Structure 1
C-alpha cells in the first residue's frame, strides 16, 4: 500500500479551491508505488493525480523534478507535469506534506510486456533524452556509483542473513564494477527508474512516462541499462527474455542513437544498475519491520540479474 498520509474530503476540497480544476467529486487512494502517497482525484472538470511527497523525496529536490517535467511537457512528450494554481504555484503543502496536483494520463502499466511494447517504451526513452539535450538544471545521483560501497558497508554482515556468503560476494562485485566503470561517456538528466510500472500504455502505444522522483544527472546510457534490467527479466530475475532485451536496445538506438563507446560500456553499466537496485532492496529488506505497510522487494532478484550480466553481458550488447 502506498497511501501513507490520509487526506480528508474536506481538506482536499479546500486544496482544490486554489486551482481552476472544478469541485471535488471523488478521491481514491492508489495502492501502487512505494515512495509517495497518491490519490486519483475526480472533479466536475477533469481527473487528476494528487501526490503527497513522503520522507524519501526531499522537498528541496521537488523544483528540479517539476522543472524537468515542465521541460518535457513543453517539448510534447507524454509526461505528467504539475498543475499550477491561480498564482502560478506548482508545489504546495497538504496535511503537513509537500503536495502537487498532477495531470492525469490515460493508460495502464503492463506486467508482462511484449517485445513491441518494450521497443515502444525504449523509443520513448530515446525521445526523452533528445528532449533533455538543452535541459540545464542538474541533480546529483544520490544512488549512483559513489554510494554503492558505503551502502554495502552499511548493510555489512547482515547480508549473509539474506544468503550465505553474500557479503563477500557483494564486496567483490562492488570492487569489480567500480574498477571497470566507464569515464567520459555523455551525461544528461535521466529518469533512472524506467520500470514497466512507470510507463503507461494503450496497446503498443506509450501514453505516459511517470514517476521521475529518482531523476538525476548521470551517464546517459546508464538509463538504458536500468531499463534493460527492469524489462528483460522476470520479476524474480530468474528468466531473461532475449527478444525483449533486443527490443529495448533497438528501440532506444533507433529513436536517439547509441555510440560505439556507449554500447561497449553497456555490460558494466548493466551490472552497475543491477548492483544499485540490489543494494537499496537489501537495505530495505534488512531495515523494514516485518509488519510495515510497505511490501519489501526481494534483493536477490537483482543479484541474479547482476550475476547474469557478469556472465553474459558482452554477448548481450554486441
Structure 2
C-alpha cells in the first residue's frame, strides 16, 4: 500500500455520498507498500479502506481482483470485501483514478514472523489455492519469467550504481531461468504477493489475507516460493530452515505437492527472488517526486537470490520428499 494520489475534501465527500456507509469522519493515508494509493477511511459506520488504482494497474483487471475477493470469502477465506455503492457497483472513480471502498479487516501483520505464523500461512495458502480452483476469470501473470528481461532492460544501465557488477550477474541469472523455467506444474489462482504486511494475525491466529492486486493464474508452487522468500529469512538475511519447514508442512497438511513441484521448488524460489529484485530495482530508481511511499531496497533480494542459487534440492528448505 502507498499514497500517490491526493484526494480533496470535496472529492471525498462526493464520492462517499454514493455509498450507504455514513458520512466521512476522517481519512488517513497509508504509506506502506508500492502499488496503489490507499487510505484508511473512517465514517459513521466504521472503518474502511479506500483504494485508488494507479497507472500500473490495468482497469480491465479490476473485475478479476474484486471478484476474486468475493469468490474467496464465499468459500471461507477471510479477506476484505469490495463495498457496492447505491448503484450496485463496486468500482467507481475518484480524483481521476478508478477507486473502490473495501471492508476493514481486523488484525495486525507481524514484524518478526515466528514458526507458528509460518505454519498458519502455509495452511491458509493451500486453502486459498483450493478455494480459487473454480474461480471463473483468468488473469495471466504479467510479471512471470517472460517479463523479467524486458523489465530488467529498463534498469540495466543503472544497475551497477546499486551493486557493482549487478547488470552482468542478473543477465546470467536470466539466461538460466529462461532456459529451465517449468511450464507444466499444477496451476491456478495465486496471490503472488503474500508478504508479511499482507497477512493479518490476531495473536497466533491468522485472521485474513489482504492486497490481491498482483493475484493471477500461475504455478501454485510459485506462490509458495514467493512466501519462502518473504517469510523465511531473518533480518540479517540468513535462511531459517525451521520457519521454512513449518511453512511447507503447513501447506502440505492441506494440499500435497507433486514430485515435479518438489523438484522445481529451488528454481521457483530463484525466480521469485529475481522477480522482486527486478521490480524493486525499477522502483528504487524511479520514485515519483512527492509520493508518500518508501521504496524497498533491491539488495535484500539479491542476497536471497544468491542463497537460492546454492540450494540443491527442496530438502535444503526442510522439506522431505
- Give the TM-score normalised by structure 2: 0.93
1:164-220 per-position Cα deviation (integer Å, ceiling 9, x unaligned): 222111111111122221131111111000000000111111112001111111111
- Give the TM-score normalised by structure 1: 0.94
Shift of the alpha carbon at 1:303? Answer: 1.0
Q: Which has the higher contact order (CA 8 A, sep 6+)?
A: 2
User: Whole-Å Cα distance in 2 between the matches of residues 217 and 245 of structure 1?
Assistant: 24
Residue 213 of structure 2 corresponds to: 213
CA change 1:287–1:30 in 2 (3 A) is closer
Residue 249 of structure 1 corresponds to: 248
Structure 1, unaligned runs of 5 or more? none
1:242-276 per-position Cα deviation (integer Å, ceiling 9, x unaligned): 11111111111112221221111100000000010
Residue 262 of structure 2 corresponds to: 263
Q: How does 1:274-313 map to 2 (within 5 A)?
A: 274-288=273-287, 293-313=292-312
SS at match of 1:302: helix
Shift of the alpha carbon at 1:311? Answer: 0.4
How many residues end up aligned between the 2 structures?
317
CA change 1:291–1:229 in 2 (3 A) is same
Shift of the alpha carbon at 1:279? Answer: 1.1
Could you tell me whether the CA contact under 8 Å between 2:3 and 2:293 is conserved in 1?
no
Residue 114 of structure 1 corresponds to: 114
User: Whole-Å Cα distance in 2 between the matches of residues 11 and 136 of structure 1?
Assistant: 34
User: Whole-Å Cα distance in 2 between the matches of residues 74 and 24 of structure 1?
Assistant: 29
Structure 2, unaligned runs of 5 or more? none
Residue 135 of structure 2 corresponds to: 135
Residue 29 of structure 2 corresponds to: 29
RMSD of aligned Cα (Å): 1.8
1:140-177 per-position Cα deviation (integer Å, ceiling 9, x unaligned): 21110001122223322322222222211111111112
Could you tell me whether the CA contact under 8 Å between 2:4 and 2:293 is conserved in 1?
no
